[in-house]
Amino acid sequence: MENIALDEVDRGLLHALQVDGRASFSRIGEVLGVSDQRVARRYRRLRSSGMVRVVGLPDGRRLGYENWSIRLRCTPDAAVSIAEALGRRSDTFWVHLLSGGTEISCGTYQRTADDRESLLLHKVARTNRVLSVIAHRTLHMFVGGRIGWTGLAALSPDQVAHLAAGRVYAKRGDGEPVVLGPGDEALLEVLRRDGRAAHADLAAATGWSESTVRRRMEHLSAAGALFFDLDVLPTLLGYRVEAQLWMSVPPAELHATGRALAGHPEIAFAGATTGPNNLMASVVCRDDAAFYRYMTESLGALPAIRHIETAPIIRTIKRAGAVLSV
């Protein structure tokens, strides 16, 4: 990939897209104090490098889906091919190879109990050369999904407020799950690939008019069923060490500990799960020394963590629903 050095405008653009992934270049330019043409050029450069993309994603919780975190231990000769097969599945949204290349970690949404049993009891458990499977439900996310990573922060509170004023906010996610209607799957399929796709392109994919596309996106966003996320390769920001953590925390301290993790710029994802290790996180650090400091100082300062297991990510197969290497 192209080696890109980010300046103040680039970092402001990334944070702006995290706040509102579909904000117009003119609105972002207003906030950054530069022209919309300059913003558009910077975005196209970052997007074409493959290191940055805006994605429109369904919120599985509002659609009644189950969110699962799965760990598989495989024979050394099989891990890559199994990880790539998982990456090709439409129900996985991230897949990592861990440690020495014999362990896989992936996240998945399952729409029905039958889908869950098909994946966990038949597809995965009966795959040759899978030695063990651990699967836990993700019950709550502290960072990830619609809750942005603080490592991208570059704008002032006033700049963020100006951008957020043009965004459609989700209402309370209580009540019955949202039901997708005809054309919604086609709409979401395009937005998964490009969250900034033009209304004309979305209309062509769904067979709707542009005004119908606009209204439907606003409805799904307001209902909490659709959100826009910014996917950034950590290396673009100088983070060259990625790892996953599994921690054990007493239930009474789980929420407070998760909230504390959410304030750490090194934490790209954190979620409460079922199982003895009930708090899972993804960490990004600049190098091994920074990772060591984070483990011993920032994590060490959280007294409720009783046990921690770490596994370096050695290769990412799929991130934010998109296959990176298959």
Per-residue pLDDT tens for 165-209? 877 767 655 667 888 888 899 999 999 989 999 999 999 999 999
Count of C-beta atoms within a 10 Å radius of residue 306: 12
Residue 20 CA to its chain's centroid (Å): 15
Q: pTM (2 decimals)?
A: 0.86
**pLDDT attached to residue 291:** 97
pLDDT digits (tens, 9 = 90+) for 74-90: 998 888 999 998 888 88
Angle at 56 between CA 180 and CA 222, to 5 degrees: 60
Here the tokens at position 242 are 């990625």
Instruction: Give 209-230 pLDDT, tens digit per residue.
Output: 999 999 999 999 998 899 999 9
Q: Report the alpha-carbon distance of residue 311 to residue 242 in Å, rounded.
A: 9
d(CA 320, CA 93): 5
- Map residue 105 onto helix, strand or coil: strand
